Amino acid sequence: MKKEQWGRLKQELLKSVGQNNYSTWIEPLELADVSEGIATFFVPTSFVGNYVSQNFGDLIRYHVNTIAPDVRRIGFRVKERVPETADEPRAGRAEKPQQATVGETQVPTAPLDDRFTFETFVVGKPNELAHAAAKRVSEGGPVTFNPLFLYGGVGLGKTHLMHAIAWDLRTRRSELNVVYLSAEQFMYRFVQALRDKKMMDFKEMFRSVDVLMVDDVQFIAGKDSTQEEFFHTFNALVDQNKQIVISGDRAPGEIANLEDRIKSRLQCGLVVDLHPTDYELRLGILQSKVDQYQQTYPGLKIDSGVLEFLAHRISTNVRVLEGALTRLFAFASLVGHEITLELTQDCLADVLRASERKINIEEIQRQVAEHYNIRLSDMIGPKRLRSFARPRQVAMYLCKQLTSRSLPEIGRRFGGRDHTTVMHGVKRIDDLRQQDGQIAEDLELLRRALEA
C-alpha cells in the first residue's frame, strides 16, 4: 500500500464515519509502513491510537484489505517516540513477539492474535474435521499424524486454528518450544541467515523446535533455495518425532511450483480442508461475535433478522463477514441507534453489492439445470414443456432474488425473453413456494448451493 492509496482510502472512510469523526480521528492518521501483514500508522498521541484502534480498527482494516488483502493487523505508533503497538479493536493487545530461548540461539515466533483461540472458534459442518485435528494436536500427546496439513480458501480460519493450537500448547505444555510463523517469515529469516553467514545457527535453532507451525506454505512455491531449506528442516523435525502443522491455500498436490518431494512429504500426514462456510456456520459466527461484543458494550441492540440477513447475503468469507459486523457496530455506536435491517442495508451497501456479484446468472442457470437434470440449452431455449418451463422459472426467480440484475436483463439471458415473461415466472414461483413444499425445498437447496 502506498501513501496515495491510503489517501484515497481515507476518503472512503470519510463516507463511513462522517465528517466529525473523520476530522478528529481519521484525518491525523499517517501511513508509516506495511510489513509482515501489519499496516502501521503514525498517530499524534497514544490516546488517539487507542481510541482509533478500539473504534475504527476493523473498519480501517476492512478498507485497507480492499487494496492490500494480506494486511492482517493494524498498528499505531506515536510519531517520534518509542514504538507502541496498539492493535485492533476490542481485543486490543497484540502480543509482543516472543523470544523462545534455545541454547545460544533464539527462535522468534510470530505474534499470536489473542482473539484466535479455540473458545472463539465456531465449529460447524464445513470445519469440524479441521477443528478436531487441530484440537488433537493442541493436546500435545504423542504425535499421531505428521504433518497436519490444513488447507482452504482465504478467511476460512486456517490462521485462527493455528494460533489456537499455539495458545493451547503454551498453557498445557509450557515446556514445549512452540514456534508459529508464516512461510514468508521463514524465508525472510533464511535469507537473513544466509546473508549474515549464520546458516549453522539457523539450522540449529529450527531443529530444536518441538512444534513447528508454518502458515501459508504456498508462499515458498517457486522459491527454490527456501524450499530446499524448508524440506531439510521439515525432515529433521519429523525424524525427531516433532509435531509439524502447515497451512496452505490448496491441497499439497495442487500447489504449483512446489517440489514433488515436498508435496509428497506434506501428504504423508493428515490433510484436512476447511470447506467454504455454510449458512448455519455463518450465523453461528455472527452470533458469537455479537455475544463477545455485547460483553463489552451491553447497550448494543440488534433487531432480529439482521444476523440472518447477513448470513444469507455475505457468503464470501468469514473475514468479510466480521468486517461487516464491526463496521455495523462502529456505525451504530456512533449514531447511537439500534441496528435495524434498514441501517444494515445502508451501512453495508457496498459490501452487500460486492458479495452479490459472486452469484451470477450463468451460475444459477447451471445449478438449476443440474438440479432438475435438464440440459442448459433446454433451460434457455424456446421449449415450453413443463419439465423445462418450471426449472426455467425457478432459475428466473433465483436470479431475481440473488442478483441485482433487472428483469429485462434476466430475460435477455434466458434466450431473449421479454421482461414480462420473467415477471410472470418469478411471481409463479413465489406463489408456488407458499403452497408447494417440494418447490420450497428445491429453492432452499439451490440457494444454499449457490451461496456456498
Judged by CB under 6 A, the residue of 16, 40, 53, 127 near ligand ADP is: 127
Order of strands across the sheet that contains 73-78: 30-35, 38-43, 73-78
Decide: helix, strand or coil at residue 145. coil
Interaction of residue 326 with ligand ADP, rule CB under 6 A: no
Count of chain residues binding Mg ion (CB under 5 A): 2
Q: Which is nearer to Mg ion, 180 or 372 (CB)?
A: 180
Q: Are 27 and 48 in contact (CB under 8 A)?
A: no
Interaction of residue 227 with Mg ion, rule CB under 5 A: no
Q: Residue number with the shortest CB distance to ligand ADP?
A: 157
Q: Which three cell numbers stand for residue 394?
A: 425457478
Q: Which three cell numbers stand for residue 162?
A: 493455528
Pairing of strands 98-102, 105-109: antiparallel
Angle at 94 between CA 31 and CA 37, to 5 degrees: 45
Q: Are 422 and 414 in contact (CB under 8 A)?
A: yes
User: Nearest-CA neighbor of 58 among 292, 297, 306, 330?
Assistant: 330
Judged by CB under 6 A, the residue of 61, 73, 77, 160 near ligand ADP is: 160
Judged by CB under 6 A, the residue of 6, 56, 76, 116 near ligand ADP is: 116
Compute the least distance from the CB of residue 188 to Mg ion, in Å.
17
Interaction of residue 159 with Mg ion, rule CB under 5 A: yes
Interaction of residue 122 with ligand ADP, rule CB under 6 A: yes
Count of chain residues binding ligand ADP (CB under 6 A): 17
Interaction of residue 129 with ligand ADP, rule CB under 6 A: no
Q: Which three cell numbers stand for residue 440?
A: 420450497
Selected range binding Mg ion among 5-13, 24-32, 158-166, 352-360, rule: CB under 5 A: 158-166
Gap between the Cα atoms of 370 and 389, Å rounded: 14
Which of ligand ADP, Mg ion, none does residue 273 bind (CB under 5 to 8 Å by kind)? none
Q: Are 33 and 68 in contact (CB under 8 A)?
A: no
Interaction of residue 424 with ligand ADP, rule CB under 6 A: no
Q: How many residues belong to the chain?
A: 452
Q: Which is nearer to ligand ADP, 283 or 285 (CB)?
A: 285
Interaction of residue 319 with ligand ADP, rule CB under 6 A: yes
Interaction of residue 159 with ligand ADP, rule CB under 6 A: yes
Interaction of residue 317 with Mg ion, rule CB under 5 A: no
List binders of ligand ADP among 267-286 (CB under 6 A).
Answer: 285
List CB contacts of 360: < 8 A, sequence separation 6 or more: 403
User: Nearest-CA neighbor of 44 among 25, 64, 63, 61?
Assistant: 25
Selected range binding Mg ion among 27-35, 56-64, 116-124, 152-160, rule: CB under 5 A: 152-160
Gap between the Cα atoms of 434 and 403, Å rounded: 22
Compute the least distance from the CB of residue 185 to Mg ion, in Å.
13
Q: Which is nearer to ligand ADP, 168 or 322 (CB)?
A: 322
Q: Which residues of this chain interact with ligand ADP, rule CB under 6 A?
A: 116, 120-122, 127, 152, 154-160, 285, 318-319, 322
Q: Which residues of this chain interact with Mg ion, rule CB under 5 A?
A: 158-159
